[in-house]
Amino acid sequence: MGAIQVLARHTLTVVLAGATLGIVSAAPAQAAEVVTVCRADDVHMREWPQGPSFDKLPRGSHLTVHERRSGYTKGRSHWNRQIGWVDSSYLC
């Protein structure tokens, strides 16, 4: 048996043994933060903070937060499935 075959065989054995013992595992998924448009009837969704508006989100729509910067929140809207920036002062 060649050196590469031996190495591959031992690597597979270690990985399988680790998986059996629970050593190899993925990190648990972290719950995403969801916010709601609550302080206005329609809120502009923008391409970047203070950038041009490309859509409006109605009161009660939800946004999964990706990032926060300069008083704006970037996220994916549950209402239109778009990703954009929303003025954080309109969110709860």
- Give the pLDDT score at 11: 41
Same domain, 14 and 49: no
Round the average pLDDT of the chain to a whole number and report it. Answer: 81
- Give the pLDDT score at 50: 95
Given a cut of 70, is residue 16 above it in pLDDT?
Answer: no
Same domain, 20 and 39: no
Domain count, the chain: 2
Q: Which residue has the higher pLDDT, 60 or 2?
A: 60
Q: For residues 9 and 57, what is the distance between their CA atoms, to the nearest angstrom?
A: 56
Q: Which residues pair with 35 in a beta bridge?
A: 63
Same domain, 83 and 49: yes
Residue 48 CA, chain-centre distance (Å), reads 17
Given a cut of 70, is residue 18 above it in pLDDT?
Answer: no
Same domain, 74 and 44: yes
- Give the pLDDT score at 31: 83
- Provide the whole-model pTM: 0.67
Residue 83 CA, chain-centre distance (Å), reads 11
pLDDT in tens, 26-51: 556 678 999 999 999 999 999 999 99
- Give the pLDDT score at 22: 55
Domain enclosing residue 60, as ranges: 34-90
Q: For residues 59 and 40, what is the distance between their CA atoms, to the nearest angstrom?
A: 6
